[in-house]
Amino acid sequence: MIYGVFFVIAFGISFLITPQIKKLAIAIGAVDQPEQRKVHSKVMPRMGGLAICLAFFIPLIMVLKFNILHISSPIFTEQQIIGFLIGGAIIILVGLIDDKYQISAKYKFLGQLIAASIVIYSGIQVQFITLPDQGVFEFGWLSIPITLLWIIGITNALNLIDGLDGLAAGVASIALATISIIGFAMGNVIVAFMALLLLASTLGFLVHNFYPAKIFMGDTGALFLGYNLAIFSILGFKHVTLISFIIPILILGVPIADTLFAIVRRFLSKQAISEPDKHHLHHCLLKMGCSHRQTVLIIYTISMFFSATAIIFTQAEAWMALTILGLLFIVFAIGADVINILNRRERFIVRFIEDSIGKQIPEKQNYKANR
């Protein structure tokens, strides 16, 4: 019951202050201009992620300060809480500055690096995994670069898919709901509750952000959501088995896969890794003829499939988990080749399918879509 009360509080704060954030964004010039790489055709206020941040932090700080829920968590010490809050504040600051001034990627990376370093220094790290034979593999000094790579990688991964109305907020909501479900099931109440609070805050904003959007979350929201998803997954699965180490990767399957494809695609095209393009998952679906709303709903469905698989993983035997993972990889590889997410002329899987069925798979179409 008490969890529901705070869920409603966080949702209400986010829903009610988002229109005020919209007015503030317009007043200070934190707006998104149309350009060739983007799919919206009019000036849009961003910085909407600030509503998510406030709706999350206000009830969270209240709960932590007064210990309203009487939660005792050995995996989340006072020092770690302070590190998490300071890191989050830095991420928000970086996002706000970028939403207003459009700073370069290197400065955003520097801010993320500082935030991640503070989190790691506070003691939030992936330290070891339990092996199938009940042994333990200690990461040792590697825990620092592994944790750093995970936090920065997930923080940016969610930002990369923030290209359509409601896309990043919806995908993040599905991931947060999954983390909360698994957290409560595993008895990790503090992480489950924090994920629940952020879920409510994101859903309150999504009401204003779903197609056709009235405001964008901007880097303030995308980076903050990615940062929290990275931290929650570390806290929720920091001492895990080799098989369940896959769970947070599955939960965040869509942004992780889209990021990896983007890195490979730009490498093959001899582009800088940080150089933006128009070949992300949502762009590919739009080029195949899907509408804006259909594209978002398709990616929601893919995210829910990944999340359902993650939940199954928590209960599956090792052999079943590996079988599911193998099938998932095959299906995703076929889908990626069909939509040509790598933007290559040669598509070997598509050619094999066409030869097998004796029918050509339609190529991408030119599209016009207003965000």
Instruction: Give the per-residue pLDDT at 57.
Output: 94
Q: What is the count of structural domains for the chain? A: 1
Q: Does 356 score more than 90 pLDDT? A: no
Which tokens go with 80?
A: 């770690």
> pLDDT at position 257, please?
84
Contact 171, 265 (CB under 8 A): no
Q: Is 365 a domain residue? A: no
- In DSSP terms, 138 is beta-bridged to 128
- Distance, CA of 126 to chain centre: 19
What's the CA gap between 3 and 69, in Å, rounded? Answer: 9
Residue-level pLDDT at 369: 42
Which pLDDT tens digit goes with each residue over 240-277? Answer: 555 556 777 888 888 888 888 888 888 877 777 767 77
H or E, element range at 33: none
> Cα–Cα distances in Å, from 154 out to 106, 247, 249?
17, 14, 10
In the numeric block, the tokens 């594209």 are attached to 295
Could you write out the DSSP letters of every residue in 98-139?
HHHH---HHHHHHHHHHHHHHHHHTT----EEE-TTS-EEE-
Task: Report pLDDT for 271.
Answer: 78
> Which amino acid, residue 297?
L
Please report where in the chains the tokens 């500055």 appear, as a residue: 97
Residue bearing the bigger pLDDT, 310 or 221: 221
Q: Please indicate, yes or no, if residue 362 is contained in any of the structural domains.
A: no
Residue 369 maps to a domain: no
Query: In this structure, is residue 187 part of a structural domain?
Result: yes
**Tell me, what's the pLDDT at 368?**
45
Report the distance separating Cα 31 and Cα 33, nearest Å: 6
Kindly report the length of the chain. 371
Distances (CA, A) of 73 to 3, 42, 192: 16, 47, 11
What would the two tokens of residue 208 be?
Answer: 């204003």
Which among 255, 265, 348 has a CA at the least distance from the CA of 302?
A: 255
Instruction: Report which secondary-structure segment, H or E, holds 241.
Output: strand 239-241
- How far is residue 299 CA from its own chain's centroid? 13
Task: Provide the mean pLDDT of the chain.
Answer: 82
Cite the annotated binding site for Mg(2+) by residue number.
159, 219
- CA–CA distance, 48 with 57 (Å, rounded to integer): 15
Weakest mean pLDDT among 81-90, 130-139, 198-207: 130-139
Whether 164 shows a pLDDT value over 80: the answer reads yes
The 10s digit of each residue's pLDDT in 176-199 is: 999 999 888 888 888 899 999 999
Contact 228, 198 (CB under 8 A): yes
CA 263 and chain centroid, separation: 17
Domain ranges, residue 194: 2-357
Q: Which residue bears the tokens 């995210």?
A: 303
Is residue 282 domain-resident? yes
Neighbours of 361 (CB within 10 A): 15
Residue 283, domain member (yes or no): yes
